[in-house]
């Protein structure tokens, strides 16, 4: 919990500063926009976070979204399948790809970095090939219910955010309150030890990539309907980095075995608030990434310094206590 607290304070301080400089930040329309972004980015970040907790990495997220996005558009508009079929096919395909990653990593003992890096390259190329490098869209056709689920508002709350809350709640239960969650942390912390303790680590890890695939598909559908058009060459480019950043900011360790759902949510929110504030404060777009980098660095640095100082104080206190007892 301590890890999330620092980043949470940073998020709150940032929000307060922005809303003092520009009260428009708190307009309901802006909060809606922000919630929509947090929802869309948060869902796949949770998947990525789970993978990171196992000690793995998933780099193919952005490319997978491009591939799923163009296929979704093609199944809906060109082949004329119903929305339910297209969505299920999309999620199914992504889970299949995740299964492929998981099997390659666990059965052939390949590095997650390599497997998913190849996915990043391969899916991007495939997306461009199947579309002949043409942008795919959903036109003016309605797909009313799907559009609502992906991008509508439920009592004024953007659906992506609602979906994120539901998914986060389920993931929280699974990760922090179930056997699977304990196995996941154990596997991430020390997979050898976990295996000797009788945990089927291969299955756990594979399953995680499958879940990450499914969550990527859900985010992918949301993004596809958010932009209403999917350019195979650019869609979702480098989005895996937003996921990885959100997870690590939220306390996931890239070495595995550490992390929490709440942390990932806070990390995602922080990244999206940073993107939002660049526009609201009229900071030149060119400084966009610089602002993001600087704020995160300063925040994490401050957190680190405070934690270390507190630890040192605690150690000193302990020493003093034991010295007193010795007397």
Partner 1 sequence: MRPENSFRPMILLCVITLLLAGCQQGIHSGGGGVGAGGAGGKHKLAFVTNNASDFWTIARKGTEKAAAEIPGIEVEFRIPSDGTAAEQQRVIDDLLAKGIHGIAISPVDPVNQTQMLNRASSGALVVTQDSDAPQSNRVCYIGTDNVAAGRQAGELLKEALPQGGKIMVFVGVLDAANAQQRYQGLKEALNGSNVQIIDVRTDNTDRVRAKSNAADTLVNNPDIAGMVGLWSYNGPAILSAVKEANKVDKVKIVAFDEEDPTLAGIKEGAIYATVVQQPFEFGYRSMELMAKYLNGDKSVVPATKQIFVPTIAVKRADVDAFQQKINQLRGRS
Q: What is the DSSP letter of 74?
A: I
Q: Tell me the closest approach of the beta carbon of residue 307 to partner 1, in angstroms.
A: 33
Nearer to partner 1 (CB atom), residue 37 or residue 75: 37
Closest CA to 103 of 202, 212, 184: 202
227 counts as binding partner 1 under rule CB under 8 A: yes
279 counts as binding partner 1 under rule CB under 8 A: yes
User: Residues near 258 by Cβ (< 8 Å), separated by ≥ 6?
Assistant: 3, 53, 185, 188, 189, 251, 252
Cα 135 from Cα 120, distance rounded (Å): 19
Identify which range of 19-27, 85-93, 106-114, 190-198 contacts partner 1 by CB under 8 A. 19-27
Q: Of residues 223, 266, 273, 303, which one binds partner 1 by CB under 8 A?
A: 223
226 counts as binding partner 1 under rule CB under 8 A: yes
Query: Under the phi-then-psi rule, with left for phi > 0, alpha for psi from -120 to 50, and beta for the rest, what region is 302?
Result: alpha
Q: What is the DSSP letter of 153?
A: E
Q: Of residues 134, 142, 144, 320, which one binds partner 1 by CB under 8 A?
A: 134
Q: Which residue has the tokens 């979702």?
A: 236
Q: Tell me the closest approach of the beta carbon of residue 202 to partner 1, in angstroms.
A: 23
101 counts as binding partner 1 under rule CB under 8 A: no
Regarding beta strands 157-158 and 153-154, do their DSSP bridges make them parallel or antiparallel, or are they unpaired? antiparallel
Strands of the chain (E only): list them.
Answer: 136-137, 153-154, 157-158, 229-230
Neighbours of 324 (CB within 10 A): 8
Identify which range of 99-107, 198-206, 231-239, 261-269 contacts partner 1 by CB under 8 A. 231-239
Residues 281-300 interacting with partner 1 (rule: CB under 8 A): 282, 284-286, 288
Q: Which residue has the tokens 């620092």?
A: 6
Neighbours of 10 (CB within 10 A): 21
Q: What is the DSSP letter of 188?
A: H
The neighbouring-strand residues paired with 154 are 157
Q: Tell me the closest approach of the beta carbon of residue 175 to partner 1, in angstroms.
A: 27
Q: Tell me the closest approach of the beta carbon of residue 288 to partner 1, in angstroms.
A: 8
Nearer to partner 1 (CB atom), residue 74 or residue 280: 280
Binding mask 170-209 for partner 1 (x = CB under 8 A): ----------------------------------------
37 counts as binding partner 1 under rule CB under 8 A: yes
Identify which range of 99-107, 160-168, 210-218, 223-231 contacts partner 1 by CB under 8 A. 223-231
Q: Of residues 21, 139, 178, 318, which one binds partner 1 by CB under 8 A?
A: 139
Nearer to partner 1 (CB atom), residue 78 or residue 192: 78
Q: Is the Cβ–Cβ distance between 270 and 14 less than 8 Å?
A: yes
The two three-digit tokens of residue 19, written as one number: 């809303």
109 counts as binding partner 1 under rule CB under 8 A: no
User: Residues near 43 by Cβ (< 8 Å), separated by ≥ 6?
Assistant: 160, 163, 164, 167, 215, 218, 219, 222
108 counts as binding partner 1 under rule CB under 8 A: no
Q: Of residues 16, 169, 233, 254, which one binds partner 1 by CB under 8 A?
A: 233
- 230 backbone dihedrals φ, ψ, rounded to 5°: -125, 115
Binding site for partner 1 (CB under 8 A): 22, 24, 27, 29-30, 33, 37, 40, 125, 128, 132-135, 137, 139-140, 223, 226-229, 231-235, 237, 275-276, 279-280, 282, 284-286, 288
């Amino acid at each position: 919990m301590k890890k999330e607290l620092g980043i949470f304070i940073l998020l709150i301080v940032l929000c307060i500063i922005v809303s003092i400089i520009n009260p428009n930040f708190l307009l309901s329309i802006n909060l809606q926009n922000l919630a929509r972004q947090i929802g869309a980015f948060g869902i796949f970040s949770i998947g990525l976070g789970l993978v990171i907790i196992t000690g793995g990495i998933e780099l193919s997220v952005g490319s997978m979204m491009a591939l799923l996005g163009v296929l979704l558009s093609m199944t809906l508009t060109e082949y004329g399948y119903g929305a339910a079929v297209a969505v299920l096919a999309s999620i199914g395909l992504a889970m299949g790809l995740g299964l492929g990653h998981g099997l390659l990593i666990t059965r052939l003992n390949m590095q997650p970095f390599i497997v998913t890096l190849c996915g990043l390259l391969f899916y991007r190329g495939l997306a461009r090939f199947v579309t002949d490098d043409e942008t795919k869209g959903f036109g003016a056709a309605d797909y009313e219910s799907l559009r609502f689920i992906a991008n509508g508002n439920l009592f004024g709350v953007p659906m992506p955010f609602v979906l994120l809350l539901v998914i986060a709640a389920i993931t929280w239960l699974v990760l922090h309150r179930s056997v699977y969650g304990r196995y996941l942390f154990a596997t991430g912390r020390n997979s050898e030890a976990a295996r000797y303790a009788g945990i089927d680590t291969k299955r756990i890890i594979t399953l995680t990539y499958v879940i990450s695939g499914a969550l990527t598909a859900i985010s992918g559908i949301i993004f596809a309907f958010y932009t209403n058009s999917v350019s195979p060459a650019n869609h979702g480019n480098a989005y895996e980095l937003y996921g990885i950043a959100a997870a690590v900011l939220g306390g996931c360790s890239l070495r595995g075995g550490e992390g929490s759902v709440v942390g990932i949510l806070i990390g995602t929110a922080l990244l999206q608030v940073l993107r939002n504030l660049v526009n609201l404060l009229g900071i030149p777009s060119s400084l966009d990434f610089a602002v993001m980098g600087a704020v995160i660095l300063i925040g994490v640095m401050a957190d680190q310094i405070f934690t270390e100082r507190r630890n040192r104080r605690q150690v000193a206190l302990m020493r003093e206590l034991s010295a007193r007892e010795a007397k």
